[in-house]
Amino acid sequence: MTGPRVALFATCLTDTLYPETARAVLTLLERLGCTVEFPLAQTCCGQMHFNTGYAGHARPLARDYAAAFDGYDYVVTPSGSCGGMVREIHPGLCGTSPAVERTYELSEFLVDVLGTIDVGAYFPHRVTYHPTCHSLRMLGVGDKPLRLLRAVEGLELTELPLAEQCCGFGGTFAIKNAETSTAMLADKMNAVQDTGAQVLTAGDNSCLMHIGGGLSRLRAGIRTVHLAEILASTEEEPWPVGTR
């Protein structure tokens, strides 16, 4: 039996800075029986343009997204932020499309479409989870990432205090409001350190980049690892984390 034909929407940030996350999604979905393709015509979702007031510049990018992904059973992205942009904003820019309606953030796809909680992962580390703003408030992924993490063999999950509080990144928010962003980041880093976790995970590399940069400057000894990389890791083939 052939699984669904899935297109991987890597996103600009992951494609440019964290390609290991895209490879983890590919590894994970193929292990679960999906046929995964990476459409080379994919570009940016337009979130950066839209959020800074340039909706007119985001519109052609939304059209490009539909053209690149319309022919697939599903589109899966390791980003609640870009997934939220596609599902919630693209229809207002240029109308809905099959690609928009079939776009899922990774944890949504695993739980809601594949009906899977235990993906066969093994990750023997103490981990805490940061629910990113767009995955939580735009997509409403709820506790799906936590349910997936609780099923990972060897993983010790520790609760993050004030977990739903934003990390302060927000794309250009961190640039336009640097002092506020820095204060929010400090709160988040204190919360992460209070957990005693070895690893901080999330469903967006943007937040992990922001928080991870702060933790690195503090020499906190806490690694940041995308959720996809934890779920792709198995006892036989541990995912090579620890480079951030």
The angle subtended at Cα 119 by Cα 202 and Cα 23, nearest 5°, is: 60
At the topology level of CATH, where does 126-232 sit? Rossmann fold (3.40.50)
pTM: 0.95
Query: Residue 111 is encoded by which pair of tokens?
Result: 């739980």
Q: What percent of the chain has pLDDT over 70?
A: 98
For the chain, give every residue range classified as CATH 3.40.50. 126-232
Write down the H helix ranges in 5-142. Answer: 12-17, 19-31, 47-51, 55-69, 80-84, 90-94, 98-101, 106-108, 133
CB 69 within 8 A of CB 40: no
Contact by Cβ (8 Å): 123, 154: yes
With cut-offs at 50, 70 and 90, classify the pLDDT of residue 172. Answer: confident
pLDDT at 241 over 80: no
**Do residues 187 and 162 touch, judged by C-beta distance below 8 A?**
yes
pLDDT digit string (tens) for 17-69?
Answer: 999 999 999 999 999 999 999 999 999 999 999 989 999 999 999 999 999 99
Q: What is the mean pLDDT of the chain?
A: 95
Residue 33 DSSP label? T
**pLDDT interval class at 16 (50, 70, 90):** very high
pLDDT band of residue 3 (cuts 50, 70, 90) is confident
Q: What is the dihedral of CA 207, 213, 219, 220, to 10 degrees?
A: -10
Question: Helix 178-194 vs helix 205-217: angle between axes, to the nearest 10 degrees?
Answer: 80
CA torsion through residues 67, 68, 69, 75, sign: negative
pLDDT at 242: 61
Cα(6)–Cα(25) distance, rounded to whole angstroms? 11
Q: Which of 114, 105, 125, 141 is nearest to 233 (CA)?
A: 125
Residue 201 bridge partners (DSSP):
129, 225
pLDDT tens-place string over residues 101-142: 999 999 999 999 999 999 999 999 999 999 999 999 999 999
